[in-house]
A and B are shown apart, each in its own frame.
Chain A
Amino acid sequence: MAVERPRDLLAAIGGVPVAVTELVVEATDVHKYFGRLHVLKGVSMTVRRQEVVVVIGASGSGKTTFIRCVNHLEKIQQGRISVNGHLIGYRDVKGRLVEDRERNIAKQRQEIGMVFQRFNLFPHKTALENITEAPIHVRGVPVDEAVETGKALLARVGLSAKADVYPTQLSGGQQQRVAIARALAMKPALMLFDEPTSALDPEMIGEVLEVMKELAREGMTMIVVTHEMGFAREVADRVVMMDDGQIIEEGTPEHFFTSPTHERTKSFLSKIL
C-alpha cells in the first residue's frame, strides 16, 4: 500500500511553533530513582531549536524514562530540566527545587507534544475528536477552528477519510499517525517520540516514519527514542547513546555508523543494524 507522502504538516497549525529560546531543552545532571533503583545517573542534554535528537540504547538504559522526565510524567530527584525557558515540573524556591503546582505543570506540558509507543488514543472518541479534544478543552480554541485545524492535520497525515472513525477501527500505523496529529494540534515547541514504531507491524513502520521525517524537515524540534537507525541517518542532527542511566556517547549519525568509540555502542549497533 503506497502511502501518500505527508506534506506541509506544520502549515496546518500555522507554521513552525515558535520556541522562545535558542535552547529548547536544557537538562542538567538529571537523577531519577524508582525506589532504590537508580535509573538516571546524571543525564545532561541540550536540544537546540529545530534540532532532531535521536536517543538509542538497550532496553533498561533509561532512554524512555529520560524523555518521560522531560514533560514531567516522571518526577526527578536531582538536577533540572528546562523546556522553552521554563523549568519543568519544579519551582526554584531559594535554590531548592519544589514540585510545581499541578496547573502550572499542565500548562508547561501544552508546549510539549508526546507520542507514545502504544499510541494511547482515546478509544471513546473519533480520530478527529482525539485531535480536537485538547485544543478545545485545554486551550479554549473555538470548536469550528479546532475542527478545521484537526481536519487539515488529518489530511496531511493521509487520513482525511478516517475523521469519523474510532481508533479501534484503525490499523496501528493509522492510529500512530492520528496520535502525531493529536500532539501537533497543541502547536508544541517540542515533540517527544517514545519508541513510536516499536509496537507496529513491520509494514506499517514506514508510514509513521514518513510523517516523522517530514516533521523533522519542516523544522520541528524533536527528541526521538527509537531503534530505527535508517531514520536517524536520514534526519537526525545528533544521536545520543544511553547505557545504564547515562549518556555514554554522542555525535552525528555518521559518527555512529562509521566510527563509534564506546564498546557498548559498538556491540549495541552490531545487534540492531
Chain B
Amino acid sequence: MSDARRAGSGSMPRPARGLAVAFLLAIVLAGCAGQSRAPFRFDTDVFTHALFSPDSQILNGLWLTVVISVVSQVIGILLGIFGALGRMSRRAPFRLIANFYIWVFRGTPLLVQLVFFFFGLGAAHIYDWPAINLLGLSIPGEIQAGIFALGLNEGAYMSEIVRAGIISIDAGQMEAAKSLGMTFGLGMRRIVLPQAARIIVPPLGNEFNNMLKTTSLLFVIGVQELYTTFSIKQSQNFQPFEMYLACALWFLLLTTIWSVIQAYIERRLGKGVAGASTGGRSLRDRMFGKRGPVEPSLVSGGR
C-alpha cells in the first residue's frame, strides 16, 4: 500500500500532480454549479428590444459601421484604381511603388495594421491621431486610424480586382479611343474603366460585404461600432446569447441590404452587354428556360 503510493507519487512530477488535482476539483465544482444554476431562459424582451427598438448606442454603432465601411471602401476603390494602373504602368518607379504597397498590405494581418497605425504611430510620436473637425463634426482619432487602415488594406485587394477588370477589356478598345484622339487617361476614364466596372462589381460586392463585417475588428482600437457596442452591452447585462445573436442579425441585415443594392448596380451596368439582365432574357432563362423569342428581345433590349 505504502509502496504503491510512493511509486505513484514518484512516477508523477509535482506540477502535473497539481494540475490533475485542479482538473478534478474543477469538474466537481462545475457539477455543483450546474446543479445550483437556474436553467437558461431566453430573454425575449432584451433581444427584441435590441433588434426592433434599438437604443441610441446601437443606432450610433450601426451608423458608425456603415459610415466607416463606405468611406473605407471608397478609399479602397480609389487606391485600387491607382494601384492597378501603377502595376500596369510602363514606368518602373510606379510599378515598384504599387507592387510594394500591395505586397505589404496583403502580406500582413489587418489586425496588426490597425494596432500598429493607431497605437504604434502614436507611441513613436509619428502621428498622435488628434481629433479633427470636419464640417462641424468632430472625428476622433481612433475612427481616423480605423478608416486609414481599412482603406489602405482594402486598396491593396482592390488593386488586383481592378487590374483583372482592366486587362479583361479588349486592347482594341483603347486603340479605338486613341485613334479618335483620346489620351490614355481619357480613354481609361471614358472607355475602359466603365466597361471594366461591370466586371469589377461582383468581386467588389464581395469586398464590401467583407468590409461591413471587418469593421468589427475596430474593437481593438476602441471604436464603438456595432460589434463593440453589443460587446459592451453584454458585459453589462450578462446576456451574451441575446446580445451577440442580435448583433449578428444586425450585421446580417446590413449585408442583405448591400446584396440588394449590388444586384441593382449590376443591372444598371449591364447595358449594351449581350445577355445582361437589362436586355432580353435573364441568364437563368437562357440556361434553363425555354427557347425565347430572340428577335423581339434584340429589338426592345438595351435601355
Binding site for B on A (CB under 8 A): 71, 73, 102-103, 106-107, 109-110, 112-114, 116, 118, 120-126, 133-134, 137-139, 164-169, 182-183, 186
The verdict on B252 contacting chain A, using a C-beta distance below 8 Å, is no
Bound: A31/B233 CA distance, A: 76
Residues of chain B with a CB closer than 8 A to A73's CB: 175, 178-179
Q: Of the listed stretches B109-117, B152-160, B186-194, name the one at the interface; the rest are far from the partner chain.
A: B186-194
Q: Contact partner of B274 among A120, A126, A168, CB < 8 A?
A: A168
Q: Contact partner of B183 among A102, A114, A124, A168, CB < 8 A?
A: A102
A-B interface, 4 closest residue pairs, ranked by CB to CB distance from nearest:
A110-B181, A166-B272, A134-B180, A120-B176
Is there an interface contact between A126 and B302, defined as CB atoms closer than 8 Å? yes
CB contacts under 8 Å to A, within B158-185, are 170, 172-173, 175-184
Residues of chain B with a CB closer than 8 A to A134's CB: 180-182
Is there an interface contact between A103 and B181, defined as CB atoms closer than 8 Å? no
Of all chain B residues, the one with the shortest Cβ separation from A185 is: B180
The verdict on B91 contacting chain A, using a C-beta distance below 8 Å, is no
User: Can you offer 16 A-B residue contacts whose CB atoms are under 8 A?
Assistant: A106-B181, A109-B178, A110-B180, A120-B173, A120-B175, A121-B176, A123-B195, A123-B273, A137-B182, A164-B302, A166-B301, A167-B272, A168-B272, A168-B274, A169-B299, A169-B301
Name the prevailing secondary structure of the B interface residues.
helix
Is there an interface contact between A114 and B179, defined as CB atoms closer than 8 Å? yes
Of all chain B residues, the one with the shortest Cβ separation from A129 is: B272
Is there an interface contact between B279 and A120, defined as CB atoms closer than 8 Å? no
The verdict on B303 contacting chain A, using a C-beta distance below 8 Å, is yes
* 10 further interface pairs, Cβ-Cβ under 8 Å (given A126-B272, A133-B190): A102-B183, A114-B179, A116-B176, A116-B179, A122-B176, A123-B195, A134-B180, A164-B302, A166-B302, A169-B302
Give the one of B172, B179, B181 with max A CB within 10 A: B179
Bound: A73/B175 CA distance, A: 7
The verdict on B298 contacting chain A, using a C-beta distance below 8 Å, is yes
Bound: A102/B183 CA distance, A: 7
Residues of chain B with a CB closer than 8 A to A109's CB: 178-181
Is there an interface contact between A138 and B182, defined as CB atoms closer than 8 Å? yes
**Number of chain B residues whose Cβ lies closer than 8 Å to a Cβ of chain A:** 29
Is there an interface contact between B182 and A169, defined as CB atoms closer than 8 Å? no
Give the one of A112, A122, A126 with max B CB within 10 A: A122
Q: Contact partner of A120 among B170, B183, B198, CB < 8 A?
A: B170
The verdict on B271 contacting chain A, using a C-beta distance below 8 Å, is yes
Minimum distance in angstroms from B219 CB to a CB of chain A: 42
Bound: A164/B279 CA distance, A: 13
Is there an interface contact between A123 and B272, defined as CB atoms closer than 8 Å? yes
Is there an interface contact between B182 and A102, defined as CB atoms closer than 8 Å? no
Given contact pairs A110-B181, A116-B175, A186-B180, A124 touches B302 in the complex (Cβ within 8 A): no
Residues of chain A with a CB closer than 8 A to B186's CB: 137-138
Of all chain A residues, the one with the shortest Cβ separation from B299 is: A169
Give the one of B178, B198, B299 with max A CB within 10 A: B178
Minimum distance in angstroms from B284 CB to a CB of chain A: 20
Is there an interface contact between A102 and B184, defined as CB atoms closer than 8 Å? yes
Given contact pairs A120-B175, A168-B272, A169-B302, A138 touches B194 in the complex (Cβ within 8 A): no
Of all chain A residues, the one with the shortest Cβ separation from B300 is: A169
Bound: A114/B279 CA distance, A: 30
Q: Contact partner of B191 among A114, A122, A169, CB < 8 A?
A: A122
Bound: A126/B272 CA distance, A: 8
